[in-house]
Structure 1
Amino acid sequence: MPIPDVDDTCRKLLEWSAPLLTEKEREQTNEAIKYFLKEGGDGNTLQTDLIKWARTDGIANWSSSVWQDLYLESRAPLVINSNVFYYLKSKLAADTHSQAHIAAALITSVYSFIALLDTKSLSKDYQKDKPLCMAQYDNLFSSIRIPKQDTDEFKVSSCRKHIVVMHNQCVFKVQILDESLQCKSFAEIKVELESIINEAKTGQNIGLLTTLDRDVWAEKRIQLLGLSTSNQAAMKAIDEAAFAVCLDAEEPEVIEDISQQLLHGNGRDRFFDKSLQFIVFKNGKTGINFEHTGVDGSVMLRLVAHMFDTINVGSDNSINPASDTASVNSNRPPSDKPQSLIFDLDESLAQVLSDSAPKFHQHVANTQTRVLSFLAFGKERIKQFRVSPDAFVQLALQLAEYRLYGKCYSAYEAVMTRTFVGGRIDVLYTVSPDSMTFIENMHSSECDIKTKQASLTRAIKTHITRANECRFGEGVYSHFLALKYRYKMAGKELGLQALPELFNDHGYLALTNSVVCTSTTSEYGVELAGYGPIVDNGYGIRYFIREDSICFNMTSRTAMKSNLESIKFHIEQSLVDMAKLMSHQ
């Protein structure tokens, strides 16, 4: 992935931030850029160091290291602030299959995906005709984000033998592969899950500690591990587990309730540090909560698609019924049966665990979720307008924001960069002079229909141009993030006594403070997906554009509750108004 020219990136900063600034602020940003780029100045110093670092340290992709550091240095709790959820489509009906049955089928399906990875049999991903980097798949399983002071550690194990199962606030280590690395049968796994579900004892709810601020959890984790070797062994079992399965007693039916349970749950039976948590509710609905450090959405969706295609394979009740398997299972050695992981707690840690619950519930109470199921049309109709469906939806989001606030703040769409080795994402900032012209035309009584249509088409072309720039490593955010990273790692050695002023300039801050944070991916195998807002005055919007509908999961802080309701209304109305405009002959 080439490092962009710093002059080009600064030019784009001025251009991309322009619609968000007053004329005076644009002039100030221009001056800040000139100072940053002056001969021998901070910009060229950091750019030279970035190029040198990328070449000499064997970095496959300069941006991937920077993005991973961005995740790991965040001190906020992972739940809501960072982790992402998926609500999965299912081929196994809950009215005919038990919770244990569905969970066992899920585990069997996921292990068949692991087998493809470990035997290097997984076919390559493509974006149209371009092959994509497959490196992120190495981070999917047996991985965890370990809390550390200041910056966390992301750790991947080669262990595949076991998973951890959480139920009734207990944690169990469950062997899935035997000594010859053969996977247990679906029926055997089902019986073991049933034994866990039938366990009457309420556990410690140790996973609640993963909802704390990262520095606090880092300190308490060290304290926890220092209490006993059995604590170290139990934590190692969690760290090295291929993934976690959460068997929830909850039975959410309303879509917003499902969204909330998958995003944060109720404070029980979660371990948010694990890269993958598969959640199976008592009513059979399933989902995923994943930690973002090692993987992005496009990789997750490949796993989800595999699960959707294979979850019903080999899980028919007529095959190896539980009654036939129980006797086989009972003959297994004790080490091969579900093992309860119990931690030794001193009085101090027991109090921390007790105090964590109200903090978690306060965090949850500060988060609002709304789901918009837009049924009037989807990508099929948008394509009839001869425009990009994604760009059309993004423009509707801007129009909705303008109708709510009377202006547009910075909006963010994640764009995949996996066409490069080690690629992650870059940030497409969607507000442009052309999108603002369209919005102004939409609200002008003096503007005719043809002009409005032309301005919509022009704004969409600009959006696509920016998306392609980001896709091919020519965006703004990742490059500036890398320059800031080099200041953090080597600034003093480079003679820089303070972070360059450009990063405190109003233009840079206005662009990078994304009030509307959005993303979309393939919706195959997925009903819904979402995450929390990335700024306190903003919205987290994840959407899927289906053939005949569009689904939005939207979150905000509770202080923004009325605005969240309003923007939901305006998104729906904006989509209708834009379709009506483009339908005029």
Structure 2
Amino acid sequence: MGKTLTPNRTNHSDKSSSGSHDFPLLPTMPIPNLEETCHNFLEWSAPLLTAQQQLCTKAAVERFLADGSCSEALQSDLIEWGSSLEVRNWSSPVWKDLYLESRAPLPINSNVFYYLKSKLDEGKNSQAHIAASLISCVYQFIELVDTKSLSTDMQKDAPLCMSQYDNIFSSTRVPKSGTDELKVSASRRHIIVLHNGNVFKLQMLDESENIKSPTDLETELDQIISIADNGQNIGLLTTLQRDVWAQGRAELLSLSNQNQATMNTIEQATFAICLDQEEPEEIQDISQQLLHGIGCDRYFDKSLQFVVFRNGKTGINFEHTGVDGSVMLRLVAHVYDNIDQVFLNVHAKGNTGFESQVGDIEPLSFELNEPLSHLLESAKGRFQQHISETQTRVLGFSSFGKEQIKTFGVSPDAFVQLALQLAEYKLYGKCYSAYEAVMTRTFQEGRIDVLYTVSPESLAFINTMINVGCEIRTKQQSLVLATKKHTQRANECRTGRGVYSHFLALKYRYKMAKEKLGLTELPELFSDDGYLALTNSVVCTSTTSEYGVELAGYGPIVQNGYGIRYFIRNDSICFNMTARTKMQANLESMHFYIEQSLLEMAEVMRVK
């Protein structure tokens, strides 16, 4: 590639910095007024509750807000802590803690995948060639990040916080008992490559501290692919329940200095490349392979893993603690825009690279004792059981997309969300809580908040749709009102006035400061039926820009729920849907009802 990479990036620790970029200081996310949050909570939870439950929840809120209650102490502590010098955004550490505290296995439950579009001909280019092009593109992007040359992300006319870009690379979620740790290294010198159960360290800099050429990377990757021997399958350990893996990792490190050095090499790697032997062709198979694969050639603790299948199809599996989807998709867009130019640029410059040096590919292995060998074997069985408990369905809806929906005079996202609620109602005869992630990056170190989509307006719309005697005009008006309410709630979340993050932060401050505050138990509001109904997100959804992406997805976040990731394209809508295997029949029904609901709603809105 012929460019010099700064081996260790600069750390940005000054509170006045906006992350990796220099632009006017972003506003601080305000801590919402507690009474306003509670008012919204009552409104947002009401459609999910019986009349009696609503009365009980209202009484719980009144007790929560009463003079002298613990809510005053928690809110005051949150305000004091949130304004301290070490906290740029009161919600950011709260979300980070939420991820790190989860003890569930990372694959399916937490990690997210993207299936990437590519301008490279998968039939004419080898697995190693495509992987080398991908690696070179990513290092181009790293250079932009580390030299503060990446243009600022924008949401319409508003600049977005860029701090999450510092967490994409050389980043690993380390298992610890109780709560994990996110380690971010400054190193950019090597990546790890996983193939056939083996792990390899691949040096990325040549003798002159330049990034290796894609030609040399392709040669080295071909060498790795040619190794037929099965490895230790050490990545399977990262599929375990987090406390179990934490104990295993501690045992692993205690055995030898070699194990400590090997683990350090893996955790400091810029990212992981997984050279899969699988050749998925069907979109549903690709979805499942990227969501979890078979576990042997993954390292789910790494914040960033690229998967390159033998047939050249590519994707990403990323760990969510430090990075949200909108940030990862900027990297995806760069790869899509540049991957077909990598080797063209090399040939244009006449750069054939240097002869790869001995030691540039280093096999990594661990010393294992008998308990660890048993744990590894156990991990394989547990993972097979884990993936057998989740099903995936992909719905490619091709009748219309955002351009048609815009002619109805409503938000395309709100329209799709209403279709999801209508589909759920057809299946269950009611709507459970539904979750949509909303970005808050217009603030310093903003992450997301949760838009709960079921509203009195959306239920009124559903009632008009299922009422065969209801006039078309009434249905149209009801749909428009429901989409406006959805947009209103989205704006509340986007501007830091959502319910979930505020309540989550109060619970976080209880955990961190209860002794100081003299509190002995969590406020009863957080065990009230209203809170439990609202936060039990049976339908968990998200959407972002689809540029450079064919498909994206994740698992359900509750046992009786659905994980639905969708892209609204100009003339189509693509849904990746997951649910537990015990709900397979319901998943098939949701698939059918979503398509049916979209068609019915469009038919209503087309009437003049």
Normalization by structure 1: what TM-score? 0.98
Q: Matches of 1:146 and 1:107 in 2, distance apart?
A: 24
Question: Which of residues 215, 240, 252 in structure 2 aligns to 1:187?
Answer: 215
CA contact (8 A) 1:368 1:555 kept: yes
Q: Cα offset for 1:491?
A: 1.3
Q: Cα offset for 1:444?
A: 1.3
1:397 aligns with 2:420: yes
Q: Cα offset for 1:57?
A: 4.9
**Alignment partner of 1:313: what SS?**
helix
Q: Aligned ranges for residues 156-175 of structure 1 at < 5 Å?
A: 156-175=184-203
**Alignment partner of 1:564: what SS?**
helix
Letter in 2 for 1:550: I
**Alignment partner of 2:316: what SS?**
strand
1:436 equivalent in structure 2: 459
1:357 equivalent in structure 2: 380
Q: Cα offset for 1:177?
A: 1.9
Letter in 2 for 1:374: F
1:32 aligns with 2:60: yes
Deviations, residues 116-157 of structure 1 (Å, cap 9, x unaligned): 011110000000000000000000000000000000000100
Q: Matches of 2:510 and 2:206 in 1, distance apart?
A: 49
1:272 aligns with 2:300: yes
Deviations, residues 64-115 of structure 1 (Å, cap 9, x unaligned): 0000000000000001000000000011112110000000000000000000
**Alignment partner of 2:464: what SS?**
helix
1:568 equivalent in structure 2: 591
Question: Which of residues 206, 212, 220 in structure 1 aligns to 2:234?
Answer: 206
Q: Matches of 1:318 and 1:498 in 2, distance apart?
A: 63
Q: Cα offset for 1:329?
A: 2.2
Q: Matches of 1:554 and 1:225 in 2, distance apart?
A: 39
CA contact (8 A) 2:346 2:352 kept: no
1:71 aligns with 2:93: no
Quote the sequence identity (%). Answer: 66
2:335 equivalent in structure 1: 307
Q: Aligned ranges for residues 461-472 of structure 1 at < 5 Å?
A: 461-472=484-495
Question: Which of residues 341, 366, 385 in structure 1 aligns to 2:408?
Answer: 385
Deviations, residues 526-561 of structure 1 (Å, cap 9, x unaligned): 000000000000000000000000000000001111
Q: Matches of 2:97 and 2:346 in 1, distance apart?
A: 49
Letter in 2 for 1:73: E
CA contact (8 A) 2:213 2:352 kept: no
Question: Which of residues 444, 448, 455 in structure 2 aligns to 1:425?
Answer: 448
Letter in 1 for 2:96: Q
Q: Aligned ranges for residues 364-379 of structure 1 at < 5 Å?
A: 364-379=387-402
Q: Cα offset for 1:312?
A: 1.2
1:329 aligns with 2:355: yes
Higher alpha-carbon deviation: 438-447 or 449-458: 438-447
2:180 equivalent in structure 1: 152
Question: Which of residues 252, 256, 263 in structure 2 aligns to 1:228?
Answer: 256
1:82 equivalent in structure 2: 110
1:543 aligns with 2:566: yes
Letter in 1 for 2:110: S
Q: Cα offset for 1:492?
A: 2.5
Deviations, residues 406-425 of structure 1 (Å, cap 9, x unaligned): 00000000000000000000
Quick one: structure 1 residues 151 and 45, their matched pair in 2 at CA, closer, same or farther if it must change by over 3 Å? same
Question: Which of residues 265, 284, 300 in structure 1 aligns to 2:312?
Answer: 284
**Alignment partner of 1:532: what SS?**
coil
Q: Matches of 1:424 and 1:471 in 2, distance apart?
A: 10
Q: Cα offset for 1:44?
A: 1.2
Q: Cα offset for 1:321?
A: 13
Q: Matches of 1:252 and 1:575 in 2, distance apart?
A: 29
Q: Cα offset for 1:267?
A: 2.0
Q: Matches of 2:399 and 2:352 in 1, distance apart?
A: 51
Q: Matches of 1:305 and 1:315 in 2, distance apart?
A: 18
Letter in 2 for 1:395: L
Q: Aligned ranges for residues 474-485 of structure 1 at < 5 Å?
A: 474-485=497-508
1:242 equivalent in structure 2: 270
**Alignment partner of 2:432: what SS?**
coil
1:504 equivalent in structure 2: 527
Letter in 2 for 1:4: P
Question: Which of residues 271, 293, 298 in structure 1 aligns to 2:321?
Answer: 293
Q: Matches of 2:407 and 2:89 in 1, distance apart?
A: 39
1:56 equivalent in structure 2: 84
2:156 equivalent in structure 1: 128
CA contact (8 A) 1:411 1:516 kept: yes
Tell me how many residue pairs correspond in the alignment.
Answer: 580
Q: Matches of 2:559 and 2:58 in 1, distance apart?
A: 28
1:98 aligns with 2:120: no
CA contact (8 A) 2:190 2:269 kept: yes
CA contact (8 A) 2:137 2:342 kept: no
1:219 equivalent in structure 2: 247
Q: Matches of 1:323 and 1:282 in 2, distance apart?
A: 27
Q: Matches of 1:169 and 1:320 in 2, distance apart?
A: 37
Quick one: structure 1 residues 132 and 409, their matched pair in 2 at CA, closer, same or farther if it must change by over 3 Å? same
Quick one: structure 1 residues 381 and 228, their matched pair in 2 at CA, closer, same or farther if it must change by over 3 Å? same
Higher alpha-carbon deviation: 199-208 or 98-107: 199-208
Task: Identify unmatched segments of 5+ residues in structure 2.
Answer: 1-28
Letter in 2 for 1:538: G
Quick one: structure 1 residues 57 and 318, their matched pair in 2 at CA, closer, same or farther if it must change by over 3 Å? closer
**Alignment partner of 2:343: what SS?**
coil
Q: Matches of 2:348 and 2:232 in 1, distance apart?
A: 34
Q: Matches of 1:447 and 1:200 in 2, distance apart?
A: 66
Q: Matches of 1:5 and 1:444 in 2, distance apart?
A: 40
Q: Matches of 1:353 and 1:487 in 2, distance apart?
A: 38
1:447 aligns with 2:501: no
Letter in 1 for 2:253: L
CA contact (8 A) 2:438 2:448 kept: yes
Quick one: structure 1 residues 317 and 473, their matched pair in 2 at CA, closer, same or farther if it must change by over 3 Å? closer
**Alignment partner of 1:171: what SS?**
strand
Question: Which of residues 538, 553, 562 in structure 1 aligns to 2:576?
Answer: 553
Q: Matches of 2:121 and 2:607 in 1, distance apart?
A: 44
Measured on the aligned residues, the alpha-carbon RMSD in Å equals: 1.4
Quick one: structure 1 residues 323 and 249, their matched pair in 2 at CA, closer, same or farther if it must change by over 3 Å? farther
CA contact (8 A) 1:187 1:321 kept: no
CA contact (8 A) 1:161 1:178 kept: no
Q: Aligned ranges for residues 104-123 of structure 1 at < 5 Å?
A: 104-123=132-151
Q: Matches of 1:52 and 1:369 in 2, distance apart?
A: 45
Q: Matches of 1:205 and 1:320 in 2, distance apart?
A: 40
Deviations, residues 218-268 of structure 1 (Å, cap 9, x unaligned): 011011011111111111111000000000000000111000000000121
Q: Matches of 1:320 and 1:169 in 2, distance apart?
A: 37
2:11 equivalent in structure 1: none
Normalization by structure 2: what TM-score? 0.94
Deviations, residues 433-458 of structure 1 (Å, cap 9, x unaligned): 00000000111133211111000000
Q: Matches of 1:468 and 1:306 in 2, distance apart?
A: 28
